[in-house]
Homo-oligomer: A and B are copies of this chain.
């Protein structure tokens, strides 16, 4: 077991560089409007690097009244690789502004979000689900200066995914759709939003609402759902996500059937194994690259006081066409 090393403070750097602590602070924070000799600046930077100086975050945020921590709250559901890509993109974009992203699984047993926000002294909080009003107030009281989404319309945005699935199937001639809902309770809210998109698209196309069936990730369960859909002449399935879609494909295979001839299946999220399914799965997903970047910009705009300048345009889902539709 390696022993803890002593903490390096800005006084240590100041002493090593032969200047005052204030000068160290000016140099390291690149304070504008102050004149520091190139030579002094160099000495400070060299000393800081040599000592591997890292400002004490707590002291800094206490003094400056703001931290560089951004908290991402992830709902209590099995994390898919899509979220992971989103997180990576977001973290990268924030890092470019000197901000650090940490995530927190808002599980049922964990601490309430405002507590976590206070614990890490986050200056911004990003969520997936919209927060209710009380939570937002508590987050502000816990020290957050920016909260995203504030209370805007992301539910509608989530519905877009389902709408894109349905539109795709309808455009390929399907007139009777099914919806494969997940059994996992944690998915409930998100599944209902995606379903709403499907239902809306059906209504606009003038066809019946989708036949909704719940399936677990067991082949037997999916096979049973396939039987039900067949009985009701359903020809195209929108699945809650790719895993559910792959379950449906497995259910088809179990009956000696296959997509898209017997039943077209479209998933959501584009997980890595989607392309490895038999047949390779058609799916929809957001441009997470863009979504992450946009969230990062919104945070930065909020922190610098221009929060009204950036509107969160709902991300546009894209269809990844493969062979299951």
Contacts and interface: CB of A to CB of B under 8 A. Distances in A.
A312 to B, nearest CB: 11
A81 interface: yes
Interface stretch (A34-42, A64-72, A164-172, A190-198): A64-72
A237 to B, nearest CB: 15
A8 B141 CA distance: 7
Nearest to A137: B5
Interface string A47-71: 0000010111111011000011101
Chain A's interface: helix, strand, loop or mixed, by majority? Answer: mixed
A150 B105 contact: no
Nearest to A71: B102
Contact of A120 (B4, B83, B100): B100
Contacts of A133: 2
Identical copies of this chain, number: 2
A84 B105 contact: yes
A101 interface: yes
Interface stretch (A20-28, A106-114, A204-212, A282-290): A106-114
A220 to B, nearest CB: 11
Interface residues of A, number: 84
Contacts of A6: 141
Given A84-B79, A280-B219, A110 B138 contact: no
B253 A272 contact: no
A278 B250 CA distance: 8
Interface in A135-158: 136-138, 140-145, 147, 150-151
Given A58-B59, A58-B121, A118-B54, A141 B107 contact: no
A194 B67 CA distance: 39
A247 interface: yes
A319 interface: no
Contacts of A109: 88, 91-92, 95
7 contacts: A1-B308, A59-B62, A69-B119, A100-B119, A243-B272, A249-B276, A253-B278
